[in-house]
Amino acid sequence: MKWNHHASLRPAMAILLEPLFNSSQLPLPPSSYATVFQAFTGKNLLKQGQQLHPLPSRHALPFPSKMVAMYASSGDIVSAARIFHSFPNPFLLLFNSIVRAYSLYKYSQETLHIFIRMHSLNFRGDYFTYPFVLKSIADQELLCIGKCTHLLTMKDGLRFDLYVATSLIDMYVKCGARKLFDEMPVRDVSSWNALISGYMKEGSVGLARELFDEMPTKNIVSWTSMISGYTQNGLAANALQLFDKMSRRGSELKPNWVTIMSILPACTHFSALEQGRRIHRLAQEESLDSHPSVQTALVGMYAKCGSLPDAKLCVDRIKPSSRNLVAWNSMISAYASHGRGTDAIQTFELMIQAGVRPDSITFMVLLLGCSHSGLVELGLRYFDSMSSDYAVERRHEHYACMVDLLGCAGRLVEAYEFISQMPMPAGASVWGALLAARRCHRNLEISELAAKKLFVLEPENSGNYVILANRYSEASMWDEKRALQKSQNVRKNPGCSWIEIDGKAYMFLSEVAAAASYPQAEEIHLLLREVSERMKEAGYVLDTKVKKREIVVRDVNRFHHFQEGSCSCEDFFLFVFGVEEFPNHSLLLSYK
């Protein structure tokens, strides 16, 4: 039947559904049903597939493997398993279909049980079976079982199959071995890529880079694996450098959507907005900006680099049907981190209206938005609605957000009582939120109580000692401050900040570390000392206010918007030297 391969699904459906209403209709050949089931696979057409499901049972048509694949691709693993187990004598293709389904959905133990049953029935695995079985073994890091499976691949004549060999490499890397790769008589680019990816996932960045440099031939997957690995391991500068090196190769090497999605988070580390924009333009040139994952990554990049208008524009460009939970969460988080709690709430309500169910991350950023904007009652209401209205379990981080919400509003006693009523032991993030409550709401007794808890929970964190020491300073308790510093040998970790100029991010470290943080550090310090002396000679008195400008400063938690030198959160004031260099737009600084 020609429509098997060339026509649309609608006429195919009409022909296949005809026997359901006409019992005299001759059954269609099995290949026709199988083709349409395969067409439904991976296309979210589960309802249409379910309409066809009763038809084959009336004519006993042998294509259960296609049905298993269809249900599994739609996320209905229960129905896929039910079809498999309804066959007392499964064949190899059916075994492979359920093995693939279980493996992809991380049902690792079920995958291995099916594989054992398959071998007990004297079925030999093939190049389709073993990659998924080995993936399940790798997920559980079962090295002993992996070695036994490796022997079975050789017994089944698959020793030199590249698909199987690559899966074996990935399994051994995750289980801590490189022996197989070194012994492979033939190593294609996929084998190298698998080992690089495996090392990066294990955090062995140096070994991955050595392997990358040794590769005789590199494809876009090789470069992307390295870029993604650097980003995921917190080495944003390395990721950006490697991406620039790849880009200089021009038409020889084109990025794909995974490359773009992997490099954008590296821009956020340095608040490198202009660099992010350049990557966005590259994605547009390569027609990659319409991919949902790239669109979502762009939203996150612009939001975390301080450009809310660009983030909102990217969200609006995503088709409503493709606007997934990650995109919504990114926009809610963007508004929340900029202190625009009302906009965060409005975005949350729009998400609910669009039929997207919130998760724990949604509520975490929503509660932070309420905290940063002082929306205490709304925050309490959303916290209460988590389990009752949305069936989202309250986790430790949600309780930390609520303590921050109450603490920032000056309701410190209420925040402490909230902690005492938690259904779980309060961890460092909860006590840290209480200790870090706004300085304008001074309650030294609660600060000391929170600090003592933190000294036990994370004794190596110098920041907790520094905060308590600052609280003593604010209360003019100099003896207590000196005693704390002496008893704990408190030393604050060097501060770290970034600024982007002409598309390049510059990083600075405070104190002694500054000498090594920037090539011109000594020159900068000499110039600052000279300027300071001349200012004193001229009778200059420090004015912390920057007139008619908005300065945006990002710390590890949020963005602070300064007008006339003061932040709306009331905890900070700002003096920026050299702000005249940026006369036409807001200035974004970042620090830790």
Paired sense of beta strands 559-563 and 550-554, if any? antiparallel
Global pTM value: 0.58
Bridge partner residues of 247 (DSSP) = none
| Residue closest to 332 by CA, chosen among 289, 302, 373, 362 | 362
| Residue closest to 272 by CA, chosen among 235, 227, 305 | 305
Q: In what order do the strands lie in the sheet with 504-509?
A: 504-509, 496-501, 587-591, 550-554, 559-563, 566-567
Provide the pLDDT for residue 457: 85
pLDDT greater than 90 at residue 390? yes
Percent of the chain residues topping a pLDDT of 70: 72
CA distance 384 to 497: 38
Q: Which helix (H) or strand (E) holds 553?
A: strand 550-554
pLDDT greater than 50 at residue 20? no
CA distance 577 to 422: 46
Query: What separation in angstroms does the CA of 344 have from each of 363, 433, 537, 578?
Result: 11, 21, 49, 34
Cβ burial 476-512 (10 Å sphere, 16+ → b, else e): eeeebbeebeeebebeeeeeebbbbeeeebeebbeee
Provide the pLDDT for residue 143: 80
| 18-19-22 Cα angle (round to 5) | 90
Provide the pLDDT for residue 266: 93
The domain segmentation of the chain, as residue ranges, is 255-323, 496-591
pLDDT greater than 90 at residue 522? no
| pLDDT top residue among 29 and 238 | 238
pLDDT greater than 90 at residue 36? no
| Residue closest to 152 by CA, chosen among 122, 186, 179 | 122
pLDDT tens-digit profile of 455-499?
Answer: 888 887 777 777 777 777 777 788 777 777 777 665 555 666 656
Percent of the chain residues topping a pLDDT of 90: 26
DSSP 188-241: -HHHHHHHHHHHHHHT-HHHHHHHHHH-SS--HHHHHHHHHHHHHTT-HHHHHH
| pLDDT top residue among 171 and 41 | 171
pLDDT greater than 50 at residue 46? no
* Contact between 9 and 48 (Cβ < 8 Å): yes
The average confidence (pLDDT) of the chain is 77
Provide the pLDDT for residue 225: 92
pLDDT tens-digit profile of 163-177?
Answer: 888 788 778 777 765
* Contact between 533 and 539 (Cβ < 8 Å): no
pLDDT greater than 80 at residue 207? yes
* pLDDT band for position 440 (cuts 50, 70, 90): low
CA distance 359 to 386: 9
pLDDT tens-digit profile of 171-203?
Answer: 877 776 566 676 667 777 887 888 888 788 777
* pLDDT band for position 585 (cuts 50, 70, 90): very low
DSSP code, position 489:
T
User: Averaged over 502-525, what is the pLDDT?
Assistant: 61
| pLDDT top residue among 493 and 143 | 143
CA distance 480 to 462: 17
Provide the pLDDT for residue 557: 56
pLDDT greater than 70 at residue 94? yes
CA distance 450 to 51: 61
Provide the pLDDT for residue 191: 78
DSSP code, position 141:
T
CB proximity list for 450: less than 8 A, separation 6 or greater: 431, 432, 434, 435
* Contact between 303 and 337 (Cβ < 8 Å): yes
pLDDT greater than 90 at residue 322? no
DSSP code, position 41:
T
* pLDDT band for position 13 (cuts 50, 70, 90): very low
* Contact between 192 and 221 (Cβ < 8 Å): no
Provide the pLDDT for residue 563: 61
Provide the pLDDT for residue 59: 40
Provide the pLDDT for residue 564: 57
| Residue closest to 63 by CA, chosen among 100, 38, 41 | 38
| Residue closest to 342 by CA, chosen among 358, 323, 366 | 366
pLDDT greater than 50 at residue 136? yes
Cβ burial 338-361 (10 Å sphere, 16+ → b, else e): bbbbebbbebbeebeeeebebeeb
DSSP 157-184: T-TT-HHHHHHHHHHHHHTT--HHHHH-
User: Averaged over 433-449, what is the pLDDT?
Assistant: 75
CA atoms 41, 42, 48, 51: torsion sign: positive
The letter for the amino acid at 339 is G
CB proximity list for 92: less than 8 A, separation 6 or greater: 118, 123, 126, 129
User: Averaged over 343-347, what is the pLDDT?
Assistant: 94
pLDDT tens-digit profile of 391-417?
Answer: 999 999 999 999 999 988 888 889 999
* pLDDT band for position 570 (cuts 50, 70, 90): low
Decide: helix, strand or coil at residue 459.
coil
* Contact between 194 and 225 (Cβ < 8 Å): no
> Please, is 55 exposed, middle or buried when counting C-beta atoms within 10 Å of its C-beta (0-12, 13-18, 19+)?
middle
CA distance 334 to 344: 8
